[in-house]
Amino acid sequence: MTSSSTNLQSLGYTPSMARYLVEQNLTAFEPGRVMAEHKERYIVRTAAGYVEAEITGNLRFTAQSREDYPAVGDWVALMVYDGGSALIQAVLPRASLISRQAVGKYGERQVIAANIDVAFVVLAMDRDFNLNRLERYLSICYASKVTPMVVLTKTDLVTTEYLAERIATINARQAHIDVLAVSNTSQAGYSQLEAVMEPGKTYCLLGSSGVGKSTLTNNLCGGTFMKTDTISDSTGKGRHVTSHRELMLLPNGAILIDNPGMREVGVADAGQGLEQAFDTIAHYAQHCRYHDCTHRSEKGCAVLEALDNGDISMAAYENYLRTAQESAFFESTVLERKKKDKQLGKLLKYYDKLNVKGKKNED
Ligand SMILES: Nc1nc2c(ncn2[C@@H]2O[C@H](COP(=O)(O)OP(=O)(O)OP(=O)(O)O)[C@@H](O)[C@H]2O)c(=O)[nH]1
Ligand SMILES: [Mg+2]
Ligand SMILES: [Zn+2]
């Protein structure tokens, strides 16, 4: 274990977590927060310092999916051994968990980070700006019970008028979202950004590759912790500079998680998150004639009526339908898998019985 002691509260530790350890008879273990993960090895920060840990065999055995494994931002109970190795015994209950549809694996989730208070959805002003993508991020955040905030970067590359026009475009489609604008070059807008960050609260950066998440992280940290890179204009795609997630305690007392850029923002089962991200549509949907209206062709559909009247934009409507369809597809894939697992379970039981019978016959 390395030195650099810290008090756990400054990392976001709460009294309810301490109570949980007592209730679960875990007081023999040390609490710590997962700072980084690499192939099932975790850097955990405890009151005494940093330690590299693995999970117990039992935790691995009982895990039903990726979500049961520790994620960056998780609080864990671990046993630290002499010599510095450590085993994670349990993952403490999470206040929130950001996950998305895993790229190329339908019905599976990829966990992004745990115990996040606010997600900064980062959009760069040069070429990254895309409202549909923003709404997908918002669906993910709301579904994860994380408050989203938009951070526009690279404002030094555009005029004040252009920036104002873009902010107005966001506000027109998303009335309730806070929008901040910064330049990582001039640090314009940093004071407003730092003003919203509270000590002991955890923030994470979501956004495409190259929008300036790590540059922002480094500037807020006051040093170079995350690698950043200049992506040449012609080959803007296909290069991800950040390859892992990392949690950092900032000088202002807030906690920040930098993430690798996302090329695909796939929503898993967004559920209520969808209604929050598309709140205008959800508002009209309450007045549809049919309770299970799909807002595509039904008579008495208040959403289609609002679309006709221009109260809902075609772009928002289309993005809503696409995102809702994706969410429904995720749910049906999960259900199908559960059904198959159940069938397989029954089959296994059947073979077990045969086996028992077979053994009896041998006696
Ligand atoms: N002009 C300008 N350039 C910026 C700004 N922020 C970041 N950059 C540049 O954009 C490039 C990419 O920045 P990164 O911070 O590495 O981007 P990232 O979002 O961390 O990218 P990934 O790690 O791949 O997800 C670097 O060359 C930065 O110098 C900004 O506000 N203005
Ligand atoms: Mg990065
Ligand atoms: Zn409808």
CATH architecture of 97-258: 3-Layer(aba) Sandwich (3.40)
Q: How many Å lie between the centroid of ligand 3 and the Cα of residue 292?
A: 8
Query: Residue 218: CB within 6 Å of ligand 1?
Result: no
CA nearest neighbour of 306 among 287, 322, 292:
287
Q: Supply the mean pLDDT for the chain.
A: 86
Query: Residue 163: CB within 6 Å of ligand 1?
Result: no
pLDDT digits (tens, 9 = 90+) for 31-70: 999 999 988 899 999 998 889 999 999 888 888 888 899 9
Q: What is the enclosing helix (H) or strand (E) of 43?
A: strand 41-46
- Protein residue whose Cα sits closest to atom 14 of ligand 1: 212
- Choice between 228 and 277, residue whose per-residue pLDDT is larger: 277
* 122-136, 161-175, 332-346: least confidently modelled range: 332-346
Query: Among all ligands shown, which has an atom nearest to the Cα of 286?
Result: 3
Q: So what's the pLDDT on residue 267?
A: 73
- Count how many residues are written for the chain: 363
Query: Residue 211: CB within 6 Å of ligand 1?
Result: yes
The atom of ligand 1 lying closest to the CA of 183 is 31
Q: Is the pTM for the entire model greater than 0.95?
A: no
Query: Residue 123: CB within 6 Å of ligand 1?
Result: no
- 360 pLDDT higher than 50: no
The atom of ligand 1 lying closest to the CA of 243 is 23
Instruction: Determine the straight-line distance between the first and last CA of the chain, rounded to whole angstroms.
Output: 56
Residue whose token pair is 């199908």 = 336
Q: So what's the pLDDT on residue 38?
A: 86
Q: How many Å lie between the centroid of ligand 2 and the Cα of residue 216?
A: 9
- Protein residue whose Cα sits closest to atom 22 of ligand 1: 209
Question: Could you tell me if 303 and 288 are in contact, meaning their C-beta atoms sit under 8 angstroms apart?
Answer: yes
- 129 pLDDT higher than 90: no
State whether residue 184 is helix, strand or coil.
coil
* 151-160, 278-287, 348-357: least confidently modelled range: 348-357
* 140-154, 192-206, 209-223, 344-358: least confidently modelled range: 344-358
The Cα–Cα gap between 206 and 141 comes to 10
For residues 210-237, average pLDDT: 72
For residues 223-239, average pLDDT: 54
- Where along the chain do its domains lie? 8-91, 97-258
Pairing of strands 179-181, 255-258: unpaired
Q: So what's the pLDDT on residue 237?
A: 44
Q: So what's the pLDDT on residue 86?
A: 94
Most confident range (mean pLDDT) of 55-64, 221-230, 301-310 is 301-310
Question: Could you tell me if 55 and 7 are in contact, meaning their C-beta atoms sit under 8 angstroms apart?
Answer: no
Confidence band for 171, pLDDT divided at 50, 70 and 90? very high
Which positions ≥6 away from 45 have C-beta within 8 Å?
A: 6, 11, 32, 33, 35, 51
Q: So what's the pLDDT on residue 239?
A: 53
Neighbours of ion ligand 2 (CB under 5 A): 213-214, 241-242
Query: Residue 259: CB within 6 Å of ligand 1?
Result: no
Mind giving me the DSSP string for 108-127? -EEEEEES-SEEEEEEETTT
Query: Residue 100: CB within 6 Å of ligand 1?
Result: no
The first and second tokens of residue 72, run together, are 């960056």
The Cα–Cα gap between 7 and 13 comes to 9
The atom of ligand 1 lying closest to the CA of 230 is 27
47 DSSP assignment: S
pLDDT digits (tens, 9 = 90+) for 240-256: 556 677 899 999 999 99
Query: Among all ligands shown, which has an atom nearest to the Cα of 262?
Result: 1
- Choice between 100 and 258, residue whose per-residue pLDDT is larger: 258
Q: How many Å lie between the centroid of ligand 3 and the Cα of residue 219?
A: 47
- 141 pLDDT higher than 50: yes
Question: Could you tell me if 180 and 150 are in contact, meaning their C-beta atoms sit under 8 angstroms apart?
Answer: yes
The first and second tokens of residue 217, run together, are 């992280």
Q: Kindly state the percentage of the chain with pLDDT values over 90.
A: 53
CATH architecture of 8-91: Beta Barrel (2.40)
Confidence band for 236, pLDDT divided at 50, 70 and 90? very low
Residue 337 phi, psi dihedral angles, 5° rounding: -65, -40
pLDDT digits (tens, 9 = 90+) for 308-347: 999 999 999 999 998 888 888 777 777 777 777 777 777 7
Q: So what's the pLDDT on residue 363?
A: 42
State whether residue 58 is helix, strand or coil.
helix
The Cα–Cα gap between 39 and 251 comes to 29
Question: Could you tell me if 135 and 278 are in contact, meaning their C-beta atoms sit under 8 angstroms apart?
Answer: yes
